[in-house]
Chain A
């Protein structure tokens, strides 16, 4: 089940080896530096006063009683924010783009938990107590909780600026739907499917420590935001400041999963207060605050779905109406309205597809990326369709999948909307997964379960983990946007005593970037991984970042490591150039890197250690040729090969790589109660070349666990007044050690033909677990599963349906 890291020999290739993680020494000793660990003299603790109403006018705010308390340093209200900042830039055009989003509520609150006032005090406890003394008078309004009612004429409207609750809509159509439905033997109709609201709930909540330097006008933002590039472009214009004034620093981040991308409103509040109060401001979100307000995953409905199929299970096309619930604000949205299109046909050779996509606002927490962002919802939909079609046609779901999967001989495969699946053999992966699960003996196991009064169900989840975004896809949402492509940066240098120092633009949250980056550097410099020093975290002072720097959307193995590779190759070339000059004009191809230095291939005694190279360039460089052009400090920007998509046709390559996952779940349902156990589970992953298999497998496991939690337990559910019913880990049940089923993992390596190392981004394929559990429950109960969230009482209802 698990792989134990071997001892690494020096001077041997470690690409593809489970090198022990560099991060572990500090993290196992409690020596990591997470954001709440950062302290400054005289800092104040920030606490947010939050809305108790889902929807209300703010009649008045009185902070005077709070400010009178000794030890309270000051407050900030929405009114001040509206005067000091501009509304955040909106990704959407009209109507969503017309809403005015500030970092604190201005005039109105739109969800329970929305920050209304910020209070800063000497201690955490005092800040919290003083918040209770802030008097806010509300005039409650009716709340809109069900996205399906958002466009009703009588629905309460959240944003008057937008005129209605419609935030974005678009029609996607490719192929020839009429022809597909004419050719069909059958049309399978699915009235409604629902993908529920949850997120990955990283164990560490959001936070920041912000210092303002009055002399330079610069803010230093120690934070765990996982996409500083995005935060910067949101914050700079809103704060009316250049990005040079916003320095982002991260070190260890306690999990992100996309949920730490949109903390920019809170960071703005910290910045304003650091300046106003002239002292460092520290904010750490409480767990309840996180659940109430931070980055819920997109809740989505698929309605009036029609699927054109042949009697043999051949899929010709489908049409559906997707309705996406954005919550109260568009913090990253409506990008979810296009991100799904990276995987339009799922893993299948569907050529004719129409999706009418509508996104609406509701009085719930704003949605933002969550592991598998928007693709997971769509892939869950395609997997539900497959299993429902198989059920209607009374075909084996395995056969329907194999008949329709994109085939290995089709790779690279262009989807109907112009995305290119780079490589992979999905049918082979399914075979491996079925084998791991013991598919051949399944009939015996069904009988055995039945003998014990249980119903056994088997379900497959096939999913894609599209990685390395082409940000040009944002133009399909709003043609006015001027984003496209992608980039990431690394610098690699040889310092004065021969230290190999690497900086990354990424903001890892447990993915082991320090380790895998070192593996790539060691490979090229032909040295030990231990000799490579990768700086922990991100600092925009390091000049090792670009517009899209960060850790999100399954891309490090492509963007991050390609940047590292590029920079290291530059360094290797410079080392040879320098050595060539020192050796008196030896050409580069006569030299090689080995044993921590550079030597002449034919006469290995002519050896210059890295230490000498670093010392010569940095401290002993008199007499070197004028035109040498060597700094031993190399910066490389990796830019994936993308074109701007065709906005009219909504056509183009939206992501560079397509890692794939096939999961199979076996459940045993108690027909009396609906209680079920996942009794067996297999996860097969193909993410191309694996640099560090143990880290890859760790990602597969973690994503699987999150999916199982979401499938069975986790949900952000609201009552009809818009109160969140699961605002902490007491009510929001995440899996515990005892909840985990037996797990078997397998892998296939299909290198990507499009990336410098053959890698594919990965880590977000866990959605497969939700698909697989839904399919297994459908198999066990015989009822059509229409929601992604199937706690035991829901399964009991399904059993009642079929009774």
Chain B
């Protein structure tokens, strides 16, 4: 089936198998490998992206469901070489070790801060609850997000 999407401002048109997951479409067909896969059950959030302004787990959608949508992934966050404040905060606070969960974490936190620029501690933790990190124990991720909250 034909799928047309815009990802980080670039338009793509591809013929995809109807059962292909959106995350596999991004990674394998569009070669946007920043978004990751960490589970088979929608639990880990490594694949989190923003579709038409809404945070989604892209392993829980088929590529064909995204037809016509506007997608944002981790590759689109930085402005050229300039990291976003949040990306910089992740580095400053050592909020990443292996970095595998990081793209999903950044997308979840970006979505949170867009919707609520001054989240409470509890709101930050809730917003990250759908993202598993096996390296950091979340404390530094929380600190990083908190540091850019107004």
The chain A residues found within 8 Å of chain B, CB to CB, are 1-5, 18, 20-21, 23-34, 36-37, 39, 123-125, 200-205, 252-255, 257, 284, 286-288, 509-512, 694-695, 697-699, 701-702, 704-706, 728-730, 734-738, 740, 743
Contacts of B117-138 to chain A: CB distance below 8 A: 124-126, 128-138
A32 to B142, CA, bound (A): 22
Our pick among A23, A29, A509, A738 for the contact of B75 (Cβ within 8 Å) is A29
Cβ contacts under 8 Å, A37 to chain B:
27, 33
Q: Are B44 and A740 in contact (CB under 8 A)?
A: no
Our pick among B41, B94, B142 for the contact of A5 (Cβ within 8 Å) is B94
- Distance in angstroms from A732 CB to nearest chain B CB is 9
Task: Please give me the residue from chain A that is nearest to B144 by CB atom.
Answer: A2
Our pick among A21, A30, A123, A737 for the contact of B142 (Cβ within 8 Å) is A737
Q: Are A730 and B20 in contact (CB under 8 A)?
A: no
Size bin of chain B's contact surface: 35 or more
Q: Are B98 and A254 in contact (CB under 8 A)?
A: yes
- Distance in angstroms from A246 CB to nearest chain B CB is 25
Q: Are B83 and A29 in contact (CB under 8 A)?
A: yes
A694 to B139, CA, bound (A): 13
Cβ contacts under 8 Å, B126 to chain A:
737-738
Q: Are A737 and B125 in contact (CB under 8 A)?
A: yes
Task: Please give me the residue from chain B that is nearest to A26 by CB atom.
Answer: B99
Cβ contacts under 8 Å, B140 to chain A:
2, 698, 701
Cβ contacts under 8 Å, B128 to chain A:
736-737
Our pick among B75, B91, B138 for the contact of A740 (Cβ within 8 Å) is B138
A123 to B28, CA, bound (A): 10
Q: Are B40 and A743 in contact (CB under 8 A)?
A: no
Q: Are A705 and B17 in contact (CB under 8 A)?
A: no
A702 to B101, CA, bound (A): 13
Cβ contacts under 8 Å, A29 to chain B:
34, 74-75, 77-78, 83, 87
Q: Are A694 and B94 in contact (CB under 8 A)?
A: yes
Decide if B57 is an interface residue (CB 8 Å cutoff). no
Q: Are B91 and A20 in contact (CB under 8 A)?
A: yes
Our pick among B28, B38, B98 for the contact of A252 (Cβ within 8 Å) is B98
A sample of 28 inter-chain contacts (CB < 8 A) reads A2-B139, A2-B143, A20-B92, A21-B91, A24-B96, A25-B91, A27-B98, A28-B83, A30-B34, A30-B73, A32-B100, A34-B100, A203-B38, A203-B100, A254-B100, A257-B134, A287-B39, A510-B98, A510-B99, A698-B135, A699-B97, A702-B134, A702-B137, A729-B39, A729-B43, A736-B128, A737-B128, A740-B142
Cβ contacts under 8 Å, B74 to chain A:
28-30
A737 to B140, CA, bound (A): 11
The chain B residues found within 8 Å of chain A, CB to CB, are 17, 19-20, 24, 27-28, 31-41, 43-44, 46, 73-75, 77-78, 83, 87-88, 90-94, 96-103, 106, 124-126, 128-143
Q: Are A202 and B27 in contact (CB under 8 A)?
A: no
A34 to B77, CA, bound (A): 20
Q: A705-B138, A729-B38 are in contact. List 10 more A-B contacts (CB 8 A).
A: A29-B77, A30-B32, A37-B33, A201-B134, A203-B100, A205-B38, A284-B37, A735-B137, A737-B124, A743-B139
- Distance in angstroms from A507 CB to nearest chain B CB is 12
A688 to B75, CA, bound (A): 39
Cβ contacts under 8 Å, B141 to chain A:
737
Task: Please give me the residue from chain B that is nearest to A252 by CB atom.
Answer: B99
Q: Are A125 and B20 in contact (CB under 8 A)?
A: yes
Cβ contacts under 8 Å, A32 to chain B:
99-100
| 10 closest A-B pairs by CB | A30-B34, A27-B99, A705-B137, A254-B100, A510-B98, A510-B97, A30-B74, A729-B43, A24-B91, A37-B33
Task: Please give me the residue from chain A that is nearest to B137 by CB atom.
Answer: A705
Task: Please give me the residue from chain B that is nearest to A124 by CB atom.
Answer: B24
A30 to B100, CA, bound (A): 9
A34 to B102, CA, bound (A): 13
Cβ contacts under 8 Å, A125 to chain B:
17, 19-20
Our pick among B33, B40, B132, B138 for the contact of A30 (Cβ within 8 Å) is B33
Cβ contacts under 8 Å, A729 to chain B:
38-39, 41, 43-44, 132
Contacts A27-B99, A702-B135; is A254 near B90 (CB within 8 Å)?
no
- Distance in angstroms from A332 CB to nearest chain B CB is 20
Q: Are B38 and A697 in contact (CB under 8 A)?
A: no
Q: Are A21 and B94 in contact (CB under 8 A)?
A: yes
Cβ contacts under 8 Å, B83 to chain A:
25, 28-29
Cβ contacts under 8 Å, A288 to chain B:
40
The CB with the most chain A CB atoms within 10 A, among B73, B137, B138, is that of B137
Q: Are A28 and B41 in contact (CB under 8 A)?
A: no
Our pick among A2, A28, A734, A738 for the contact of B134 (Cβ within 8 Å) is A734
Our pick among B35, B73, B91 for the contact of A28 (Cβ within 8 Å) is B91
Cβ contacts under 8 Å, B28 to chain A:
39, 124
A255 to B135, CA, bound (A): 7
Cβ contacts under 8 Å, B43 to chain A:
728-730
The CB with the most chain B CB atoms within 10 A, among A4, A23, A737, is that of A737
Contacts A701-B137, A705-B137; is A286 near B98 (CB within 8 Å)?
no
Cβ contacts under 8 Å, A4 to chain B:
92-93
A203 to B46, CA, bound (A): 8
Q: Are B106 and A740 in contact (CB under 8 A)?
A: no
Cβ contacts under 8 Å, B131 to chain A:
737
A694 to B131, CA, bound (A): 23
Q: Are A28 and B99 in contact (CB under 8 A)?
A: yes
Cβ contacts under 8 Å, A511 to chain B:
97
